[in-house]
């Protein structure tokens, strides 16, 4: 390798390293060590820590790529009217995500934002029906059905399972069968119910720290 | 590129001898590259076709959610990342490594000597892609965009790439002293940047994830730069090599190409955060990338002047040279996609286009209309030299260009328009969400049509390639051109 290429090679590394420091190292330092803070009104530590069931639900959310159609970020008024749409009480800030483990903030809204779905639509029955077949609850939706997260069981002598979904007639399985959510479906719904990213009042210290306007 | 300026008159005999030596040297280089480069390029075409099938499945699912809905392996959220990764790492990267190695070997005038390690690298690279795709479909996707391959696929890719880098560095080291052509800069830079990017992002996002709020910035730094610091250098390098080679005229300005290179290296690396506009991040972080995005006008305009000024006066060659037609289509798309990208990074524009299909259309303009089209052109140029055998049918090449060109145009223009409609509607808080969904469906159907056309083109190059490889009959010494009436044969340049 003659000298000339050596200089060029150092150039490759320096240009790369400059951005590496700015866009990898600084975010890790500045946004990678948040602590829980007490809620100003209730005194609870926020944001709450996920339960093992919710974590399992998040992993199912990840495995099935929900993020490719659903974002989890409420935007400020200046950018978009997420708050008016009812997608959250306020814009989300970095602190809100500290206990998510694997961030699923997303970049696509083929479907609605889910940052605050646990507040907006807490009904487990609705979520289960919607996952089983989105047409039941949201006619015209292009979300795929997740029937593979449910079991179709033959109704035995003991009658239908207490956990079986109450499916409207036109969508229900043939007579003598019922539809029971698997453990995975229940975990996924528990995760969805836990998504309350834009619910808490913004801790002032955190807002000041990240230098963003809250609206 | 060493264009020898001959001050002393050369006798016809000497000229003939030099020409003969130069041909023999090239033959030696091409024969040494045959297996390693051939395997990389051949397997990339298999991935291209497989990735296209996944793409069509994903596209149909977007307007017909019941399509293949009952198998968890084929649910939309797995097929879509499987498509992205097979085309990004299976097709674009595999072809990119093959093209990069071949052009590097030609420009360094060093025959590839690492037949065994590079063949092993090709096998490992394909294995990594196969394992990764299988992992995504079975439900092990990381859901980190552009990095969905699970951790167990990463060692295959990194070990394979190490062999590629070693071979590339040996070629650079053993080249004859003197000038380094701009294509060599781009190839070596791409070969250094890709593993650095992958190692950083996979480590901090998948292997040992940092706290969740810090993940998206690293994710988008990676996702944007795998385009900017890997596919772009390989694409530009091929354009810089092929246009002068085919039209027989040196590049317009050497100095501009240097400015283009360093401004790309510096500004592109700072891109990515504009994917998080409006997100839960400090304003400075996002603004840095918005500024860097706008600064990308510098490398893009320099490169555009250089490529297009070289072409000026030679547009007639597009009528007969398949390689040139693909490459110039790609070069023009590069200018277009880069301008579009810079403008989309402006906050006010992004408020409309973010979260919509507009972004998907934009990424296909970059990855397909620019990178893939240039790679196609390069493959049409390289393979006859590698195999010492011509392409079997000019009709198949034609039947590749037009479906691909028309397909991507439908895809880009219609889906972009759909994205703008979608974004405007989303910004009106009184439009019910389901109405927006319904409004996008016609555009999504057009996308399936565009994608199907592109796949027909891929089928053509796939058939062409394997026909060429397995049918060993002699097909004449003339290059396979679109038109048999070549206006004038360009004078061959003395550089390798």
Please list the pLDDT of chain B residue by residue as tens digits (496 residues): 445 554 566 788 888 898 898 889 999 999 999 999 999 999 999 999 999 999 999 999 999 999 999 999 999 999 999 999 999 999 999 999 999 999 999 999 999 999 999 999 999 999 999 999 999 999 999 999 999 999 999 999 999 999 999 999 999 999 988 888 999 999 999 999 999 999 999 999 999 999 999 999 999 999 999 999 999 999 999 999 999 999 999 999 999 999 999 999 999 999 999 999 989 998 889 999 999 999 999 999 999 999 999 999 888 888 889 999 999 999 999 999 999 999 999 999 999 999 999 999 999 999 999 999 999 999 999 999 999 989 999 999 999 999 999 999 999 999 999 999 999 999 988 899 999 999 999 999 999 999 999 999 999 999 999 999 998 887 777 778 877 655 455 545 544 4
Q: Give the chain A residue nearest B196 (alpha carbons).
A: A16
**pLDDT number for residue B2:** 46
**Structure tokens that stand for B306 in this block:** 């250089």
Residue B441: CA count within 13 A, CB half-sphere: 13
Q: Which residues of chain B neighbour A22 with C-beta distances below 8 Å?
A: 270, 288
Strand-strand pairing, A37-38 and A177-181: unpaired
Is the Cβ–Cβ distance between A205 and A37 less than 8 Å?
A: yes
**pLDDT number for residue A215:** 44
Interface predicted TM-score (ipTM) over 0.90: yes
Task: Report DSSP letters for B119-188, one per residue.
Answer: HHHHHHHHHHHHHHHHHIIIII----TT--S-GGGHHHHHHHHHHHHHHHHHHHHTSPSS---HHHHHHH
Q: What is the rounded distance in angstroms from the CA atom of residue B110 to the CA atom of residue B24?
A: 13
Q: Which residues of chain A neighbour B434 with C-beta distances below 8 Å?
A: 138-141
Helices and strands in chain B: count of H runs, count of E runs: 17, 0
Q: What is the rounded distance in angstroms from the CA atom of residue B268 to the CA atom of residue B286?
A: 14
Residue with tokens 């320099």: B302
**pLDDT number for residue B495:** 46
User: Is A107 close to B210, i.e. CB distance below 8 A?
Assistant: no
Strand-strand pairing, A177-181 and A45-46: unpaired
Question: pTM for the complete prediction?
Answer: 0.93
The minimal CB distance from B141 to the residues A12, A63, A146 is found for A63
Q: Is A48 on the interface with B (CB under 8 A)?
A: no
Is the Cβ–Cβ distance between B387 and B42 less than 8 Å?
A: no
Q: Which residues of chain A neighbour B193 with C-beta distances below 8 Å?
A: 12, 16
Q: What is the pLDDT of residues A156-192, one digit of tens each?
A: 877 778 888 899 988 888 888 899 999 999 999 999 9
**pLDDT number for residue B496:** 44
Q: Which residues of chain A neighbour B265 with C-beta distances below 8 Å?
A: 11-12, 15-16
Q: Which residues of chain B neighbour A33 with C-beta distances below 8 Å?
A: 211
The C-alpha torsion from A117 through A122 and A124 to A126, rounded to 10°, is -80
The minimal CB distance from A147 to the residues B70, B266, B276 is found for B70
User: Band of the pLDDT at A4, cuts 50, 70, 90?
Assistant: confident
Q: Which of residues 105-144 of A touch B (CB under 8 A)?
A: 105, 107-112, 134, 138-144
Q: Give the chain A residue nearest B138 (alpha carbons).
A: A63
User: Band of the pLDDT at A79, cuts 50, 70, 90?
Assistant: confident
The minimal CB distance from A23 to the residues B273, B277, B429 is found for B273
SS (H, E, C) B175-209: CCCCCCCHHHHHHHHHHHHHHHHHHHHHHHHHHCC
Is-cis flag, bond preceding A47, omega within 30? Answer: yes
pLDDT for A62 beyond 80:
yes
B67: region left, alpha or beta (phi > 0 left; psi from -120 to 50 alpha): beta
- Where is pLDDT greater, at A77 or B347? B347
Strand-strand pairing, A45-46 and A37-38: antiparallel
Give the gap in angstroms from C-alpha A191 to the nearest C-alpha of chain B: 16
The minimal CB distance from B221 to the residues A13, A23, A61 is found for A23
CB neighbour list of residue B23: distance below 8 Å, 6 or more residues apart: none
Give the gap in angstroms from C-alpha B183 to the nearest C-alpha of chain A: 13
Q: What is the rounded distance in angstroms from the CA atom of residue B218 to the CA atom of residue A66?
A: 20
**pLDDT number for residue A42:** 84
User: Is A24 close to B139, i.e. CB distance below 8 A?
Assistant: no
CA distances from B99 to A107, B172, B236 (A): 32, 16, 12
Q: What is the rounded distance in angstroms from the CA atom of residue B84 to the CA atom of residue B427?
A: 28
The arithmetic mean of pLDDT across residues A49-59, rounded, is: 97
CB neighbour list of residue B77: distance below 8 Å, 6 or more residues apart: A64, A65, A66, A67, A68, A69, A144, B141
Is the Cβ–Cβ distance between B120 and B163 less than 8 Å?
A: yes
CA distances from A126 to A109, A129, A130, B491 (A): 21, 5, 6, 72
pLDDT for A36 beyond 80:
yes
Nearest to B82 by CA among A159, A16, A68, A164: A68
Q: What is the rounded distance in angstroms from the CA atom of residue A95 to the CA atom of residue A206?
A: 7
Is the Cβ–Cβ distance between B156 and B125 less than 8 Å?
A: yes
């Amino acid at each position: 390798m003659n000298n000339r290429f050596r200089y060029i090679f150092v150039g490759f590394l320096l240009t790369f390293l400059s951005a590496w420091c700015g866009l990898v190292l600084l975010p890790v330092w500045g946004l990678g060590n948040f602590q829980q803070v007490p809620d100003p009104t209730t005194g609870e530590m926020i944001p709450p820590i996920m339960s093992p069931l919710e974590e399992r639900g998040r992993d199912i959310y990840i495995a099935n790529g929900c993020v490719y159609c659903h974002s989890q970020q409420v935007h400020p008024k200046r950018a978009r009217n997420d708050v008016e749409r009812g997608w959250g009480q306020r814009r989300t800030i970095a602190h809100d995500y500290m206990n998510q483990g694997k961030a699923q903030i997303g970049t696509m809204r083929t479907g609605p934002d889910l940052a605050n779905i646990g507040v907006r639509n807490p009904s487990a029955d609705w979520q289960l029906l919607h996952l089983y077949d989105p047409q039941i609850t949201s006619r015209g939706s292009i979300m795929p059905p997740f029937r593979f997260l449910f079991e179709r069981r033959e109704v035995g002598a003991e009658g239908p399972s207490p956990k079986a979904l109450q499916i409207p007639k036109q969508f229900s399985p043939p007579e003598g069968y019922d539809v029971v959510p698997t453990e995975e479906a229940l975990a996924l719904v528990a995760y969805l119910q836990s998504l309350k990213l834009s619910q808490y009042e913004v801790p002032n210290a955190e807002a000041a720290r990240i230098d963003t306007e809250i609206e | 590129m060493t264009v020898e300026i001959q001050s002393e008159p050369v006798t016809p005999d000497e000229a003939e001898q030099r020409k003969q030596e130069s041909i023999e040297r090239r033959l030696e280089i091409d024969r040494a590259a045959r297996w390693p480069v051939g395997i990389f390029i051949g397997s990339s075409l298999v991935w291209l076709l497989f990735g296209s099938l996944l793409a069509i499945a994903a596209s149909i699912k977007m307007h017909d959610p019941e399509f293949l809905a009952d198998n968890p392996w084929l649910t939309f959220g797995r097929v879509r990342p499987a498509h992205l990764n097979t085309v990004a790492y299976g097709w674009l990267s595999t072809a990119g490594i093959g093209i990069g190695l071949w052009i590097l070997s030609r420009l360094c005038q060093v025959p590839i000597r690492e037949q065994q390690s590079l063949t092993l690298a090709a096998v490992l690279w394909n294995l990594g892609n196969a394992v990764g795709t299988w992992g995504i479909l079975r439900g092990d996707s990381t859901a980190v965009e552009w990095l969905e391959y699970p951790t167990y696929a990463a060692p295959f890719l990194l070990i394979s790439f190490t062999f590629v880098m070693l071979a590339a560095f040996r070629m650079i080291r053993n080249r004859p002293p003197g000038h380094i052509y701009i294509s060599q800069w781009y190839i070596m830079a791409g070969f250094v940047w890709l593993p650095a990017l992958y190692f950083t992002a996979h480590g901090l996002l998948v292997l040992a994830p940092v706290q969740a709020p810090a993940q998206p910035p690293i994710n988008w730094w990676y996702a944007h730069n795998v385009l900017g610091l890997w596919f772009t250098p390989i694409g530009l390098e091929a354009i810089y090599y092929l246009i002068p080679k085919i039209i027989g005229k040196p590049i317009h300005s050497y100095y501009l190409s240097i400015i283009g290179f360093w401004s790309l290296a510096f500004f592109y690396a700072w891109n990515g955060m504009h994917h998080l506009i409006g997100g839960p991040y400090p304003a400075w972080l996002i603004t840095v990338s918005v500024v860097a995005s706008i600064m990308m006008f510098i490398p893009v305009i320099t490169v555009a002047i250089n490529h297009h000024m070289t072409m000026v006066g030679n547009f007639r060659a597009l009528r007969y040279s398949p390689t040139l037609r693909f490459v110039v289509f790609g070069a023009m798309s590069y200018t277009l996609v880069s301008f579009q990208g810079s403008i989309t990074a402006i906050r006010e524009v992004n408020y409309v286009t973010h979260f919509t299909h507009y972004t998907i259309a934009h990424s296909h303009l970059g990855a397909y209309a620019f990178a893939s089209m240039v790679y196609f052109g390069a493959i049409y140029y390289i393979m006859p030299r590698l195999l010492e055998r011509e392409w079997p049918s000019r009709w198949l090449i034609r039947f590749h260009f037009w479906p691909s060109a028309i397909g991507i145009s439908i895809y880009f223009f219609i889906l972009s328009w759909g994205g703008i409609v979608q974004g405007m509607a989303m910004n009106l808080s009184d439009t019910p969400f389901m109405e927006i969904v319904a409004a996008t469906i016609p555009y999504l159907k057009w996308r399936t049509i565009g994608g199907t056309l592109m796949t027909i083109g891929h089928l053509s190059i796939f058939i062409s390639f394997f026909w060429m490889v397995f049918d060993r009959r002699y097909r004449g010494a003339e290059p396979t051109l679109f038109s048999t009436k070549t206006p004038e044969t360009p004078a061959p340049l003395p550089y390798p």
